[in-house]
Amino acid sequence: MSRRKYLALLPVTLLVVSCLWAQSTHVPELPAGPMQAKATTACTECHETRIILQQRLSKAAWTKEVDKMVKWGAVVDPQDRDVLIDYFSSSFGVDLKEYVPDRSARVRGKKVTK
């Protein structure tokens, strides 16, 4: 194949690669609830959801966590603070079962030993 033909295939290659990339980097959503939209806006500006989904914290710890994030720059309406803390502590409290991380496609389905 000539160089020019290879070049013509470039957009197709890029499209396939970007689709595969998008598939392998699926980011889970925050749980449904009255604060889902606001929490997604305020809390995924600097990091994605998984850092939140894997927490198992008491209400006191969530209070500290949300206040710390606000101090670090999270934009939370003061009126929403308490509701947001309730949303996180009822969604990701200490009694929730252990978080199971979503593995990348390469190792998905295989048993991962600790």
Query: Which parts of this chain interact with ligand HEC (CB under 6 A)?
Result: 42-43, 45-47, 51-52, 55, 65-66, 68-69, 72-74, 76, 88
Task: Give the Å distances, CA to CA, from 15 to 12, 75, 82, 113.
Answer: 5, 35, 44, 35
CB of 2 to ligand HEC, least distance (A): 48
> What is the Cα–Cα distance from 79 to 39, expressed in whole angstroms?
13
What token pair was written down for 41? Answer: 């806006």
CB of 105 to ligand HEC, least distance (A): 24
Q: Which is nearer to ligand HEC, 68 or 103 (CB)?
A: 68
Radius of gyration of the chain (CA): 20
CB of 110 to ligand HEC, least distance (A): 27
